[in-house]
Amino acid sequence: MERVIYKSLIEWKLKKNRKPLIVNGARQVGKTFVLREFAEREFTKHVYFSLDRNAQARHILESGSSVQSIIMALSALSGVDITPNDTLIVVDEIQESPAALNSLKFFCEDAPDYPIAVAGSLLGISLHGNYSFPVGKVDMLKMYPMSFEEFLSAMGKAQLVDVLRNNNWEVVNLLKGEFVDLLRQYYYVGGMPAVVQGFVSGNGPRAVREMQEQILFDYARDFSKHAPVNQVPRINMVWNSIPSQLAKENKKFIYGAMKKGARANDFDLAIQWLVDAGLVYKVNRVNKIESPLKFYEDFSSFKLFILDVGLMGAMVGASAEAVLTNNAIFKEYKGAFTELFVCDSLICNGINPFYYSSEDAHLEVDFVIQGKTSVSPVEVKAEENVHSKSLKAIVNKHPDLKAIRLSMKDLDRQDWMTNLPLYAFVEELKSL
């Protein structure tokens, strides 16, 4: 399956001042697969070591020896002569060894001609411990679950991807029925690569759910394995509360919805752990829709979204019939699936969203994004009923804003707002 990150890997290989590469992201988003495919396609030779299964490789990287000694030892262990520039060293599960992670700085300083790429989940958490991190000595790429466009490509719909990327709106409108059907499938399957691969290979809805439930089980096991013991119950409470938080009319995260009397101080570390692990995205409020948005960020009010719409469907037990055969899924749970889909799509395409609500909560807009030259309030509508009172009121106060509405309606450019279909909005927002 082709992944968008592959292009970035090629760019890293060709960089003149290339540093060791960390591919970071949540567990099971495809980091290992894409690095091994990259190694096989783009390098004459490669070696692969997984630190959770290869104690010798871990010991070698932790040894503190010179880089040349490390390279010789890894060559002997793998049976492959590691030579400059044409051999890629791939190290998996790097988070298992902070000392091995720190050794990357020696490759940067003493052996830049030996390309090394490491994959790891939960890497961000090591930054909060007493471990040294090779700041300034590594290149980093963040990897996410498969986007809707990557899902289309995996489904053999590369021509539809071209239509979306070229903003060919005439063809998009003609193929609306197919796009809507594929979007329903994406809501059910989501973007976890193993699940997508299984679906593409013919696995039915029940098998898809079983794979998603296994991933959720693995995540819960990671909580117990990697998180501070006193935070594990709170992490579970936050994680399990997210679907119901998103099903509220006001999707702002409410501590009291988890436990009566709960306060921020009780759960802030648990939330940050999930964010650092890449399992949850935190979208903060802004109190003004003005550029630059970071000036107006309110860290005390936020929404939480999990990393994958298919996993949330598994968490709430959404049936295959409800998702795959009925357009009502787009508006079920007060549009929770649709807002999650939009948030995940923005983030995996490099767009950092905020949300806005007025001090009296009279006006609220689902997302606000910072473009190259403008700020855009983005309202998400899960169906074709698209009354936009808050969006209209905000634009009346700030006529210079480029307002965006995402809905199931076709493209519609009006003086005050542009409506984009939910299945075809990413490219236009990336160009703002």
**Mean pLDDT, contiguous 10-residue spans, the chain (432 residues):** 95 96 95 97 97 95 92 97 97 90 93 95 57 83 97 97 96 96 95 98 96 97 90 96 92 92 92 94 96 95 97 93 72 81 97 93 91 92 76 90 93 94 95 88
Q: Determine contact, residues 363/370, Cβ cutoff 8 Å.
A: no
Tokens of 236: 């579970």
Return the amino acid letter for 211.
M
Please say whether the structural domain 5-143 has been given the CATH code 3.40.50.300: yes
Beginning with the edge strand found earlier in the chain, give each strand of the sheet holding 403-407 in spatial order: 297-306, 280-286, 354-357, 364-370, 375-380, 403-407, 417-421, 412-413
pTM for this prediction: 0.93
Alpha helices in 86-204 (DSSP H): 98-102, 104-110, 123-126, 148-154, 158-165, 169-174, 176-189, 193-200
The confidence score (pLDDT) of residue 128 equals 47
Q: Determine contact, residues 353/360, Cβ cutoff 8 Å.
A: no
Return the amino acid letter for 93.
E
> Following DSSP, what letter does each residue of 364-395 receive, concatenated?
EEEEEEE-SS-EEEEEE-SSS----HHHHHHH
Closest CA to 51 of 102, 96, 89, 88: 96
Task: Kindly give the interhelix angle for 176-189 and 158-165, rounded to the nearest 10 degrees.
Answer: 110
What is the DSSP pairing of strand 375-380 with strand 403-407? parallel
- What is the SS3 assignment for 290? coil
Q: Determine contact, residues 89/116, Cβ cutoff 8 Å.
A: yes
How far is residue 341's CA from residue 345's CA, in Å, rounded to a whole number? 6
Provide the CB-side half-sphere exposure for 326 (13 A, CA): 10
Q: Determine contact, residues 246/336, Cβ cutoff 8 Å.
A: yes
Domain ranges, ordered by start, for the chain: 5-143, 148-430
- What is the SS3 assignment for 38? helix
How far is residue 253's CA from residue 282's CA, in Å, rounded to a whole number? 10
Report CA dihedral (54, 58, 60, 63) to the nearest 10 degrees.
Answer: -160
